[in-house]
A and B are shown apart, each in its own frame.
Chain A
Amino acid sequence: MKKNFFSGNIRGLIVLAAAIGLIVTGILLGQYSQVLGKAIRVCLECIGIG
């Protein structure tokens, strides 16, 4: 029981570490700015207008 649970957590921790790596990579590639650029304008299509 304990072993199964621990192995489950190991997978979760590996994915979490990979996720942090992806976030850092994305920020270094300027993807934060792209999200910001999109999010600060009203997306008329997204809300069903236009």
Chain B
Amino acid sequence: MKKHFLRPGIQLAATLVQNANFKGFFTGKIYKGDTKGVCVPGLNCYSCPGAVGACPIGSLQNFLGSTHFKIPYYVVGLLLFFGALLGRAVCGFLCPFGFIQELIHKIPFPQKKIRTFPGDKQLRYLKYAILLIFVITLPIIFKLTPTFCKYICPAGTLEGGLPIVLIHGSSNGMKTGFLFGWKMGILIICIIACLFIYRPFCKYLCPLGAIYGLCNPISLYRMHFNENACTHCGACVRACPMQVDPVKTPNSAECIRCGKCTGVCPSHALKCGFAFGKNYWHDLTEEGILHENRRQETQGTVSHENPAG
């Protein structure tokens, strides 16, 4: 039972920690402390009144689009650091916008959610195109224009634009126009899509997810599949909300390490975690799996349910 609340608990804590300037939501003033110079791992707009860190995608565009081009060692280093350490576990555990999308998806309307549709696989490549075009190329060409933040990012509208407009109204020269309407449109489409599809922004649009996805095969926090233990029951494929087949590609770029597959695997053939320490390897040996099965049977906690349902 406790395990079901572990990931949402971490997600909630990560969202609160990254937006710990709570009084900003009442005053409309953004935080100006030193931690604002450090990029947070997830997508969290630095213009959000609560944000205590910088958005890595916004910071990357800021460097690439500056009048005197600089190689963004610091931001790329931080992105690679989070990517090499956690991969897309950042999406599954630490991203505030991912957490918000999951909460919206939990609303029981419509009752039947869409798992996949024609063109779903192809659409997943869109986030790489957005990374290449809107985050890297266009800011270099059109200086001082963070094109992804300006024209696409619904996280910025939800976390930054909406609170600031609601608090300040049209005072302080903050006039909303076509651009705000455009971005609100994207946000509303994203929210409606969340009701039907699990984390649509992460699946199809997020450039940060694209970067961490590329790091998934090498990240230290990773999935391991024990072929000898697998019974090919298909429970993991049915449980995966990102439509990954962990048997074929345990470290797929789409896997956000939510752990649903490891939770439903009746033979404990899948394991997710850091591969350090003797116990990790022991757990993956046949002896370890038998030991785990025996332990769970004695506790009566062997789960065969499908949590994605």
Contact = CB atoms under 8 A, between A and B. Distances in A.
A2 B275 CA distance: 10
A27 B85 CA distance: 20
A39 B32 CA distance: 8
A43 B85 CA distance: 30
Contacts of A33: 37
Q: Chain A interface: which size bin?
A: 35 or more
Contacts of A27: 74
Interface stretch (B154-162, B203-211, B295-303): B154-162
**Interface residues of A: mostly helix, strand, loop or mixed?**
helix
B80 A18 contact: yes
A49 B179 contact: yes
A12 B179 contact: no
A45 B149 contact: yes
Contact of B160 (A5, A15, A47, A50): A47
Interface of B: 30-32, 34, 36-39, 45-47, 51, 53-55, 58-59, 62-63, 66, 70, 72-81, 83-85, 145-146, 149-150, 153, 156-157, 160-161, 164-165, 174-177, 179-180, 182-184, 215, 217-220, 222, 224, 226-227, 251, 275, 281, 284
9 contacts: A1-B227, A5-B224, A5-B275, A12-B220, A13-B84, A39-B36, A47-B183, A48-B184, A49-B175
